[in-house]
Structure formats: structure tokens, C-alpha cells
Amino acid sequence: MRLMVHDGKNELKILSESPLLPCGTFRQGVTPDASSSPLDSPFRRKLLLLAGLSSLLPISAVARTAAAAHTKPHTPLHAPAILRNVRPPPPLVMLDPGHGGKDPGAIGYSGTYEKHVSEAAAAELERQLLATGRYRVALTRSSDRFIPLEGRVEMAQAHKAALFISMHADALHDPDVRGASVYTLASAASDSQSALIAQSENSADLFGGPHVHATSPAVQQILASLVTEETRRGSAHIANSVVSSFHSRIALLPHPQRHAAFVVLKAADIPSVLVEMGFMSNRNDEAALRQAGHRAMVAGAMRDAVDRYFATTRIGIG
């Protein structure tokens, strides 16, 4: 009978033509001392067992069994290397062009839709922010489509935005009122005009139909109370930066930094502002916002405000 044994090098060797030699040992190149028993070691006992079973098992099974006796223990896994001095990704700025789709927003003195002005201005601001190489930018919409107010906030949270800027150009009953203004979230409005603007903006969800539920004033106050103090400070900081950048470049309302219960600003952990770039109800503001050059100037001032904001916060930009 021939016995095949794995030699540890993926080879099978013939140990003997006969399972046992007269001395009771296997032929493996070295004949042990005659006084040694063939059962003196575990390895010999395994070979003896294999010899007895070799006639019953296929060669492949015998080889696998013998190889198991020579199997080395697995090398322990090492912890993955830790990368040091890896710079975090640039902060993400979420831009929110107001209205869209079946919600036109304010309709201007000569028929311009707010939704088109806000989308064009947001696209220009996106271009200028990306050109700096210091930010990532996402938009709640880049086409003419309707998005509920809650959905806009959820997008910012899903993107883990470091800053949220909602861009608008509203309308008032008084056509003589003109100028830009910046709003942060508060449960009570800073003035009656701000309250009217917030009411108008918060009614945008009515365009969504019965499946989109507008947020009630009571719920708006609760949501405003959930915003952290740190987020409020960040919102006030970016609002102040935008107003400062608009000075000498963009016409402003008197006391342009205001607050009201805007639903779209309710993210508890993302500094958020709503920028009214002007009023579509004013002939001069509407005419200016229709011009690409003016929108580029507005976007440039807002880009400078974003630069100033991140330069003075704990969120680095490189």
C-alpha cells in the first residue's frame, strides 16, 4: 500500500510501499531508534491512522488531512494605519434660491418672477464661491421646481452644511420701498414689515397642495425656540457680515439687519440667514435684479461676507 503525505510545499510524497516497516516505523528519510514506539509522538500517531485509512479515502482527502498537521496559525490582524495631518474637507455652503416651480414668488413691477431672479443670483454666487477654492457648495434647487420649506431645511441637514443662505427678492404693498435686507430666525418679528415678509415667505407651502402642510404660527415659535444659542450667534454673525459687505455697494433698507419667524431658517444646528436682495415691487430694484452685472455685484458682496464669516469662526477654510 502506498501512503501519500503533504510535505508542506504543496507536494505529495510516497512514504512507503508498505504501511509499516518491520521495526514498526514509517520510512521518512530517517529511521528512528529501534527502541522508540511508533506511537511516541502525536505526529506519528496521525501518520499511523492515515496509513490505516489510506485504502478507504481518496488521495486528495489524505493529502488535506496530512496538510492540516502542518498548518501554521493565522497571522494576527493588525490595526489599520492612522492617517495623520489629513486636512478636513472645505466647509459646505448651502444656497437656497427661493420659490420655484408652481410657486413664482413675488411678481415684479414689470412682471419679473422672483423665482427666476433668486435662481440666477444663487447660480452666480455658487460660481464665485467655488472659484475661491475654499468651499463646497450645494443648492436646494438648480432648476425651476417646487420644494417645500421643510425639504429645504432637510437638504441642508443631509449635506451637513456649515452655512445656509436663502436668497429672495420679495414685494411689498408700498412700491416706493427699496433696498436689501438680511433676516435671522426669531419667534417674534423685529418690526411689522419683517412680520409681513415672513408671513409671505412661509405661505409658499400652500403651492404644494394638500399633501404639504404649512407650519402654523404656534409651531413656528416652538421651532424657533429649539435653535441652539451657538447657532443663533453664528446666524447673527453671518447676517452682520452680509450687511457690512452690502454697504457702499448695494442699496439697503433702514436698519437692514432684522429677524422674524421664517420657517426656512429653523435648522437647529446650522447658522442660517435669509437675504432679501431688493423688492420686486419697486421699479428700480426690479430693473437692477434683472441685470446680470447687478446680480454679480450682489453675489460678490455675499462672497466677501462668507469669507469674513469663516475667517473669524472655528470652522477653518484651509
Mapping DSSP onto H, E and C, the string for 20-57 reads CCCCCCCCCCCCCCCCCCCCCCHHHHHHHHHHHHCCCC
- The strand pairing partners of 252, in sequence order, are 180
Closest CA to 110 of 299, 227, 302, 285: 285
CA distance 289 to 143: 18
191 contacts: CB under 8 Å, gap ≥ 6? 255, 258
**pLDDT of 88:** 87
**Cα distances (Å, whole numbers) of residue 31 to 11, 35, 40, 186:** 22, 11, 14, 94
List for the chain the helix, strand, coil content (%; round to 5).
40, 15, 45
> Which domains are present in the chain?
4-69 (no CATH), 92-311 (3.40.630.40)
Q: What is the pLDDT of residue 314?
A: 66
- pLDDT tens digits along 260-282: 999 999 998 999 999 999 999 99
Q: What is the pLDDT of residue 210?
A: 46
Strand partners for 181? 276
- d(Cα 264, Cα 63) in Å, to the nearest integer? 72
Cell of 17: 510501499
Do the beta carbons of residue 272 and residue 152 sit within 8 Å? no
Burial of 114 (0-12, 13-18, 19+ CB in 10 A): buried
Low-confidence residues in the chain, pLDDT < 50: 1-3, 5-6, 10-36, 38-39, 62, 66, 69, 210, 212
pLDDT value of residue 78:
66
Q: What does DSSP assign to residue 272?
A: E
- What's the CA gap between 60 and 54, in Å, rounded? 10
DSSP collapsed to 3 states, 158-218: HCCCCEEEEEECCCCCCCCCCCEEEEEECCCCCCHHHHHHHHHHHHHHHHHCCCCCCCCHH
199 by Cβ neighbours in 10 Å (0-12 / 13-18 / 19+) ranks as middle
Phi/psi for 254 (5° steps) reads -60, 140
Which of 90, 112, 249 has its CA nearest to residue 161?
Answer: 90
